[in-house]
Structure formats: structure tokens, C-alpha cells
Amino acid sequence: MNNLILAIETSCDESAVALISCGGTNIRPSVVSEKIASQIALHAQYGGVVPELAAREHLTALPTLVSAILSEQSNLVEDRKLSAIAVTCGPGLKGSLLMGVNFAKGFGLANEIPVYGINHIEGHLLSPLMSHARLEFPYLAVIVSGGHTEILEVRGVADYHLIERTADDAAGEAFDKSAALMGVQYPGGAELSRNAEQYRQLNPDADCESYRVSASKSQLSFSGLKTSFRVALDKLKRANVEVDVNRACAAVESAIVDTLYARIRAACSATGISRIGLSGGVAANTYLRSRLCDLGEVFPAEHKWCGDNAAMIGFVAGMRITHGFSLADTTIRARWPVEEMSG
Ligand code: KG4
Ligand code: ZN
């Protein structure tokens, strides 16, 4: 049976929709079309996501995105008919989730299409499968985003086992907060990384000792690292020493990646698994990707699916339907650990 699924994602600051096809001869669900409206520019002026503004933006962006995708694909939709709506129900910002869920419910009711709730983190967790046909179970899912950082063993669809979750900040948060300390605009992760790359290219053998940013190697944690960086910057400022921004960026990036590397290595040896599915916004980080290569085979989510998107939400729905697993209802869950999606 062929299914055509409309997916909706509004858990944070991206309004996104996608059409996913699954069943029939497809081994895995495929993305027919997708659209995204990013709010990054809006929130950048406040130095972070403002929840009320995010919710309001979703409210205005969603109807436009949905009608655009449906009219662009009108022949297909006419022919196949939508069989389900998959909407992110958590974890995320309550107001933002509410906008997506309410829209999905209204649209589903008006068109007599069932609406299912999807766990946003399950989207990140399965997203490496979207573009790597060779990636098989079991694999280690390393989810590194602005709000979440966790390592899970993925034994199959709906068979997820938490290995470690950050004790405090997320990796993306560590990038963004460190970037902010150097005056780099939110979200600063990508720019911090570009600066670090420049430094490494010009100084391949240099270390970044004067910026003593301490990596945590015995547990997944980033708050100490951030504090030590702030202390190092303050010290330089007090001594009237000008900060070498690129060098400082390299120090921070190394410490964040050292922490992730140590914990992923521990997870690889605890499970004996060396296939690593890397996803979430920070998975776009090239230094992280290259460092992980000596731990095993790395399967990063495709660049456009590293950050938040609706394609991965529809993909989860398609995978669960194809493998005979139930889908959740549309209750909004601001907190929703992904391992609860097992079974
Ligand atoms: O997954 P995502 O789009 O949103 C959340 O669900 O949080 O991740 C956004 C995070 C931000 O913290 C951003 O700075 C970070 O991903 N990020 C990066 C890079 N590109 C995005 N961090 C480091 N290096 C990058 N190249
Ligand atoms: Zn996300």
C-alpha cells in the first residue's frame, strides 16, 4: 500500500512542511517535496529564540507553506490522496508545538485525514537513514543540536536505548554561548566553526593553550567548558591582551569536539558498535565529522536535514507505518525522552 504523508514541524524556530511517500516498492520512505521558513534572522537580534515570537511566526508561516506545497504537488495529491498528517508534538517549545499541532488537527478534521504525533528527536535519530542506504541497524545515534545532545543505541525502528544524555548544556548551546562571548551573532556555531577552521589551516601544529578550555571526558557535559572559556577571556581582558578570535574559536571547538569524541568512543566500546549516525544542527560541523572517523564509519545526516526540518518527521511516520509500529496521539509534550518511543 502506498502512503502519501504531509509532515509538519514547528518545535522551535523553523516552520517546515514536507510530503513523504512510503510503502509500495520503496524500501525506505522518500521525500517528495519540502519547504522551510527559518526564523533565525528574527531571533538573532535578541541573541536567542524568543518563544512568543516563534509561536506567532509559525501561525503566519504554516498556512502559506502548506498551501504552497500542496498546490505545487497538486497532481500527485489529487492522484494518491493524503493518507496521514504527521506533526511534531514534542519535545520543544510549548507555544510553537501548539501552533503546528492545532493547524494539523484543523486541516485533518476538514479533510478527513488522520493526524499522528511525532517525537522530534526520533526524527533526528533516524535521519541518517534518509540518505545512507548502506546504514544498517544497530547503529549509535549521536544527536547534537542546539537543545539536545544524546547518544543512543538504535537496534531497529522503535528500539532505542539511551546510553548518555548531556548533564547540562547541549553541544549547540555550548557553541552558541561561546560564540556570543566573542560577540558572534546567534546562533554562532557555524561561524565559530569557520573561524576555527581558518586558524587550523594557518596553524596546523599550534595548540590553543592560552585559552585553556577544559573538555569533560568522563561525562557528557558542556557547562564547565563554557565557564572555563569565559574565565580565560576575562583574564586576557584584565591583562589588556587582545583576543585572537580565530584561535579562541579553535580552542572552544576542540574542547567541544574532544568531549563528544571521548563519550562516543566510550559508547562504541561499551556496545561494540562502530556505525555512527550523526544528526542535529551540530552534525554539520566538519571538524567533528572528521574527528569521529577514527572511531568507526560515520553516517552524517545530509546537510539540509541536520537542522530542524519536516522531512525527518514524515520519515519517522513512514518508517513506523512500514514496520508496523503504532504512531502517537497529538498530545503536546514539551519534554518527551526519545527512548519512550521504543516498543
Ligand atoms: O538541530 P538544530 O537546527 O536546532 C535544534 O533543534 O536545536 O541545531 C541548531 C544548532 C545551533 O546551536 C547552531 O549553532 C548549531 O546547531 N550549528 C553548528 C553548526 N551549524 C549549526 N554548530 C557547530 N558547527 C556548525 N557547523
Ligand atoms: Zn532539532
Which tens digits make up the pLDDT trace of 256-282?
Answer: 999 999 999 999 999 999 999 999 999
Ligand 1: does its nearest atom lie under 6 Å from the Cβ of 195? no
Ligand 1: does its nearest atom lie under 6 Å from the Cβ of 91? no
Pairing verdict, β 14-23 and 139-144: unpaired
What pLDDT is stored for residue 211 in this prediction? Answer: 79
Q: Whose CA is nearest to atom 4 of ligand 1?
A: 146
203-207, 296-300, 327-331: segment of lowest average pLDDT:
203-207
DSSP structure class, residue 337: -
In sequence order, what are the beta bridge partners of 149?
144
Phi, psi of 46 (to 5 degrees): -100, 0
Q: Whose CA is nearest to atom 20 of ligand 1?
A: 190
Predicted confidence (pLDDT) per residue in 71-97, tens digit: 999 999 998 899 999 999 999 999 999
Using a CB cutoff of 5 Å, list residues around ligand 2, an ion: 145, 308
Average of per-residue pLDDT values in the chain: 95
Predicted confidence (pLDDT) per residue in 290-321, tens digit: 999 999 999 999 999 999 999 999 999 999 99
Beta carbons of 279 and 5 less than 8 angstroms apart: no
What pLDDT is stored for residue 1 in this prediction? Answer: 63
Ligand with the closest atom to the CA of 191: 1
Q: Whose CA is nearest to atom 7 of ligand 1?
A: 146
What pLDDT is stored for residue 208 in this prediction? Answer: 63
Res. 105 pLDDT band, cuts 50 70 90: very high
Ligand 1: does its nearest atom lie under 6 Å from the Cβ of 145? yes
Biggest CA pair distance of the chain: 70
DSSP 259-292: HHHHHHHHHHHHHT--EEEEESGGGG-HHHHHHH
d(CA 59, CA 57): 5
* Mutate which of 93, 145, 191 for ligand 1 pocket (most atoms within 8 A of beta carbon): 145
Q: From the CA of 309, how far away is ligand 2's center (Å)?
A: 8
